[in-house]
Structure 1
Amino acid sequence: MFPSCSGLSLSMVLQLRLHQQSSSGGSHWPPSRTSWCFPASCWSLQFSLPVWSSGASRFPSSEQIPDQNHRVAVMSVAGLKKQFHKATQRVSEKVGGAEGTKLDVDFTEMEKRVDTTARAVLDIMTKTTEYLQPNPATRAKMSMMSSMSRIRGQEKGPGYTQTEAILGESMQRFGRELGEDSNFGLVLNDVGEAMRELGEVKDALDMEVKQNFIDPMQNLHEKDLKEIQHHLKKLEGRRLDFDYKKKRQAKVTEDELKAALEKFDDSKEVAEQSMFNLLESDIEQVSQLAALVHAQLQYHTRSAEILTQLSSKIDERIRDTAVKPRKEFVPKPRTSLDFSISENHNGGLHGARSPGARSPARSPARSPAPLDQPCCRALYDFDPENEGELGFKEGDIITLTNKIDENWYEGMLQGNSGFFPINYVDILVPLPQ
């Protein structure tokens, strides 16, 4: 009997008290009882468990144990004993450099490939989500709101807000404010609507990739790969148990050693079969990648269609605006101000001046050319720099006589003829083809 073992670790207590050796070397019932105590870090719990006086390491059979509580206690001690043996073997390999049972090259190669597959699946799932939903703050908000939706019993939380939809909403809002009289406002509405459609196409991409790529990858990670990991963990435990008993053959019966080897071989076969099945069926992962590529192809094809239509619409608006006559700015008459100068003590004058007396002289209006012949309106002032060029002022109506090339026209203004650049004028009546 040990009165106290508070200063010992749990493993030391188990090692000291698992067996009591009797001088007779036989096992008998009832077993002697040993008071077990755990250190303070293990709750300082004290209880009594049977310890058999036996020269062998076996426990009595269930028929020898009349009390169910004792049977459960024996099973618990057997489990603790096995875990202690495994831990001892692991420490001897890691620290002491002991040699463990080696697995064949084919097995270790499959294990490496499965490990790489598991890491690839997990990392690709994360990176795919970041690719589809690049805003980390929005992703965190979505995750929180989805959790709240599940708590409330709702089917699903709000979807990811696409940046295209946000941009389109802003454009349409200001387009409405500018109104239909504004070319800028009209085109803002057009582009905003296209951006809204692009956001919907992006939502469709997110949904298809999730259903046909992310969810199957998630299922692979949580079922097949987790099952393989379980088999490998079990195999490692049985290997440690077998190696521990193999090193202590003098203290372990041949039947126990054979049983440990058989369990090790069984676990190896199960783990090997599960890894083989996964690696040989990797065409499923290829199909999932094909679904990802197909979804992106559909997204980009539909996006190209939307943008092509938008581009044509904008070009048409530009052409329509170019042929419309430009509105002339007509200044409103200035507000008149009547005032009088009172006669001062020196004897002054008093009276009123009309605003016409102060207004500057205006140049006579240019006579526009008739619009029944090819002509154009000057958009800017053009000062000739070379001989043969025709100078004009903004707003002048120039009669067109010939198109020199893609960049220059020939025309007449107030009896003068010359060349001028096309981008300085707005065509009112084009030259005949």
Structure 2
Amino acid sequence: MSVAGLKKQFYKASQLVSEKVGGAEGTKLDDDFKEMEKKVDLTSKAVTEVLTRTIEYLQPNPASRAKLTMLNTMSKIRGQVKNPGYPQSEGLLGESMIRYGKELGEDSNFGDALLDAGESMKRLAEVKDSLDIEVKQNFIDPLQNLCDKDLKEIQHHLKKLEGRRLDFDYKKKRQGKIPDEELRQAMEKFEESKEVAETSMHNLLETDIEQVSQLSALVDAQLDYHRQAVQILDELAEKLKRRMREASSRPKREYKPKPRETYDFGDTDQSNGGFSCNPTPKVSASSSFRSDKPSRASVRSIPPLDQPCCKALYDFEPENDGELGFKEGDVITLTNQIDENCIRMSQVGEPGCVLHAEHQRTETCGTVAGDKATPSITEGLGRAPASLLLLTWPGAEPQLRTRPMLQHIPVPAVPGSRYSSTALF
């Protein structure tokens, strides 16, 4: 900077300090100029605020706006022509509806309705994109150009005018110490800057019809968007009403519960004391309780629910007439108690009875139902090895046969039975 330039900056600073601190009065501008300056300042604030709010109206999500700005900047750096668009909320909603509508399937009324609504939402998003483009071209860009050029130019002229006024006031205050020619040049420059600033402000205020036309373009774009949106929503509403009528006219499907599976509660030793989860096949009344096959792992059916029962621990092959034979694991029905030491039992229609030693009885529990007595249940047989005497039945003279080392095994009570029984075998 030259010496003259430094001196001019010094004059301006001195005059500004004297006005702000010392209360010196500077050259006053006329009221018309001040009024135009005030209107221009308000116009600048209005345009800046409206631009910001319009962008927020079109793109309400600040995070998405920031991401879009970054992507646009990267696209410019890479030289890409096409920039990514703003993710419209209608489009995101439509994608969600379509995804879950497809997952629900065509046999779902709600799924079909979601597909219809999702397609309509995506159409709304496309219309919203068109609104963004039209508003940007016909409203945002012209106003942004007004801020970048006309208003910026006026601010430059006003700033230059203020500098020349300070220079002129400083020299005028020192009149006599400064050459008259220098004072005259300062005054001419001040008047020139004032005229330029006044002209630019006048032109801006007189051509504000351009801003009105730009605002009208914004409203027209909104009207077009809302017309298309109303049309799309009307079509969607009609589709949904039609689907409601179709769904109402269809016969309702009644719910038919599936038959419950039955479970075998007999083999507690195979499930750590719990119930077996394997379904138990149904057995007819004429089916045998004993399997003819030698397999030890065969599944055996439970007896009728109104009879107490027991389970055999060992195989027994009858050697004489009237003896009851059974296999290991057979479930035997206890039909009656003959006396204190004899219990009648049956299997596959064969009668028989079992005799147990009196001295091993430790605890009994029994009930009487009608004219039938339930067997006395002996837990002593399960505490130690014992001899079990099988008695032929019927017979004139009972023949006793010994079956050593038979222990009792607990069998859970059958659900629905009125008996609480413990197995004797």
1:343 paired residue number: 310
Residues 335, 205 of structure 1: CA spacing in aligned structure 2 closer, same or farther, 3 A cutoff? same
Match of 2:100 in 1: 174
Alignment of 1:16-415 (within 5 A): 76-336=2-262, 337-338=280-281, 339-341=301-303, 343-344=310-311, 348=334
The equivalent residue for 2:420 is none
Rounded to whole Å, the distance in 2 between the matches of 1:274 and 1:307 is 49
Cα contact 1:340–1:351 (8 A) shared by 2: no
- C-alpha distance 294-347 of structure 1, shift in aligned 2 (>3 A): closer
> C-alpha deviations, 1:85-117, integer Å up to 9, x for none?
111111111111100000000000000000000
1:167 deviates by 0.6
User: How far apart are 1:156 and its partner, in Å?
Assistant: 4.0
**Alpha carbons of structure 1 residues 84 and 172: separation in structure 2 relative to 1, 3 Å:** same
Query: Any idea what SS the aligned residue of 1:122 has?
Result: helix
CA–CA distance in structure 1, aligned partners of residues 187 and 51 of structure 2: 39
Offset at residue 199 of structure 1 (A): 0.6
Aligned in 2, Cα 1:322/1:259: closer, same or farther, shift over 3 Å?
A: same
Contact 2:165/2:190 (CA < 8 Å) preserved in 1? Answer: yes
Q: Deviations over 1:288-330 (max 9, x none)?
A: 1001111111111111110000000100011111111112223
In structure 2, the CA distance between the partners of 1:78 and 1:328, relative to structure 1 (3 Å rule), is same
Letter in 1 for 2:197: A
Letter in 2 for 1:144: M
Structure 2: how far apart are the matches of 1:301 and 1:112? 40
Within 2, Cα distance between the matches of 1:333 and 1:324? 27
Task: Give the letter for the 1:306 counterpart.
Answer: I
2:131/2:221 contact within 8 Å kept = yes
Equivalent-residue separation in structure 1 for 2:311 and 2:45 (angstroms): 101
RMSD: 2.0
What letter matches 1:257 in structure 2?
L
> Aligned AA for 2:310?
E
Distance 1:156 1:82 in 2: 51
Between the aligned partners of 2:44 and 2:193, the Cα distance in structure 1 is 20
**SS of match in other structure, 1:251:** coil
Unpaired runs of at least 5, structure 2: 263-279, 282-300, 304-308, 313-331, 336-345, 349-414, 417-425
How far apart, in 1, do the equivalents of 2:256 and 2:11 lie? 102
Whole-Å separation in 2 of the counterparts to 1:207 and 1:347: 89
Q: 3-state DSSP class of the match of 1:340?
A: coil
Q: What letter corresponds to residue 146 of structure 1 in structure 2?
A: N
Q: Pick 1 or 2: higher relative contact order, CA cutoff 8 A, min separation 6.
A: 2
Q: Structure 1, unaligned stretches of length 5 or more?
A: 1-74, 353-357, 360-433
What residue number does 2:387 align with?
none
Identity %: 64
Deviation at 1:188, TM superposition (A): 0.4
* Alpha-carbon distance between aligned partners in 1 of 2:347 and 2:224, rounded to the nearest angstrom: 83
The CA distance in 1 between the partners of 2:334 and 2:45, in whole Å, is 102
Q: Structure 1 residue 344: deviation in Å? A: 4.6
> For residues 119 and 351 of structure 1, do their structure 2 counterparts lie closer, same or farther at Cα, with a shift above 3 Å needed?
farther
Query: Kindly tell me: are residues 206 and 347 of structure 1, through their superposed partners in 2, closer, same or farther at Cα, counting changes over 3 Å?
Result: closer
Aligned residues: 280
Whether the 8 Å contact between 1:125 and 1:217 is mirrored in structure 2 is yes
Amino acid in the other structure paired with 1:123:
E
Q: Does 149-158 or 233-242 show the bigger shift? A: 149-158
Distance 1:329 1:347, change over 3 A: closer
Q: What amino acid sits opposite 2:114 in the alignment?
A: L
Matched residue SS, 1:343? strand
Q: Output the CA distance in 1 between the equivalents of 2:129 and 2:333.
A: 87
